Structure 1
Amino acid sequence: MKAKAGSRAGDSRLAVKKSKAEKDPNKPKRPPSAFFVFMDTFRKEYKEKHPDVKQVSVIGKAGGEKWKSLSDAEKAPYAAKAEKLKAEYAKKIDAYNNPQVIPSPTSPSSKHRRQNCLTQHMVVLNRVVSCSSPFQAGEASGDSDKSKSEVNDEDDGSEVRPSTPTPDRSLRC
């Protein structure tokens, strides 16, 4: 009896539900097969002939029987249209999986973008150099590397260290 109780506890661990991954709404839909291309036209014709029939199952069964009774020559136009839709889908899915950035006429050329990027980086570097230059100037002249406020703070017993400037990493090209 104890073995059965242990196996039930093991079953409860297996009952973990996994959630489905969300589908991308921008992904192209798969193309219909030849049968579904046929069913689009068949539904319209069937509803015109039988306006009182509203059940989807009845229309589906009638369409399936009609499809089975068609010869290969009669199915050929539907198969051709399905192949055409399949080729269009292949192009769309390829573009979806491998997006290419096409520069618009209003956007600057890549040369101008590189120059703008370099200019932005130079501005950032100039800010860093100008911020750090008082500390470097003090070292070059042989003065103490402590600022005046630090010298005055030594009397209090607390020491304040100047923060070193860091370059702005938010600018990306």
Structure 2
Amino acid sequence: MSTTSNRKTAEKAEKAPRTKAKKDPKAPKRALSAYMFFSQDWRERIKAENPDAGFGEVGKLLGAKWKELDEEEKKPYVEQASRDKERAEEEKNAYDNEKKNGAGSGGSGGEDVANDDDDDD
């Protein structure tokens, strides 16, 4: 049994040096879900109704409130999420096209990034 344990420890040690790729600060933001829009809208109300609740407890209360809502009450948040998804897709396509085409006409600061990429080629 100790060999399995040692093997798992060795596997973890091998994975440890792996670092996360740095995210481009100019990359578009991901779309928010209907629940996230609901949470933004209701968080302050829930906190006001439950002043002693911690962050996790507020999250649980928000989740319970979301489950209580019927489809008609969720509809504005679902529509907001749908619009945000379209926005995110448009921004991502524009961002991908800008990266693919060298970011020359991307607006402020984009040319510096393009020049840095061209130097590496």
Question: Which category of TM-score, normalised to the shorter sequence, fits these structures?
Answer: 0.5 to 0.7
Aligned to 1:73: 72
Structure 1 consecutive aligned stretches of length 4 or more whose deviation exceeds 3 Å: 10-14, 100-104
Aligned to 2:38: 38
What is the RMSD computed on CA atoms of the aligned residues?
2.7
Distance 1:103 1:19 in 2: 29
TM-score if structure 2 supplies the norm length?
0.67
Aligned to 1:96: 95
Q: Could you report, residue by residue, the CA deviation over 1:4-39 in whole angstroms, capped at 9, with x for unpaired residues?
A: 88xx6x777643132222121111121110001000
Aligned to 2:113: none
* Deviation of the 1:47 alpha carbon: 2.5
Aligned to 1:28: 28
Q: What percentage of aligned pairs have identical amino acids?
A: 31
| Unaligned stretches of 5+ residues in structure 2 | 108-121
2:23 is paired with a residue whose SS is: coil
* Deviation of the 1:102 alpha carbon: 4.0
Q: Which letter maps to 1:92? A: E
TM-score if structure 1 supplies the norm length?
0.49
1:19 is paired with a residue whose SS is: coil
Distance 2:42 2:54 in 1: 15
Seen in structure 2, the aligned counterparts of structure 1 residues 49 and 98 have a Cα distance that, compared at 3 Å, is: same
Q: Which letter maps to 1:62? A: L
1:47 is paired with a residue whose SS is: helix
Greater fraction helix: 2
* Deviation of the 1:42 alpha carbon: 1.0
Q: Which moved more, 1:52-61 or 1:84-93?
A: 52-61
Aligned to 2:81: 82
1:26 is paired with a residue whose SS is: coil
Q: Which letter maps to 2:36? A: F
Q: Which has the higher contact order (CA 8 A, sep 6+)?
A: 2
Seen in structure 2, the aligned counterparts of structure 1 residues 70 and 20 have a Cα distance that, compared at 3 Å, is: same
* Deviation of the 1:73 alpha carbon: 1.1
Seen in structure 2, the aligned counterparts of structure 1 residues 45 and 12 have a Cα distance that, compared at 3 Å, is: closer
Seen in structure 2, the aligned counterparts of structure 1 residues 79 and 12 have a Cα distance that, compared at 3 Å, is: closer
Distance 2:85 2:96 in 1: 16
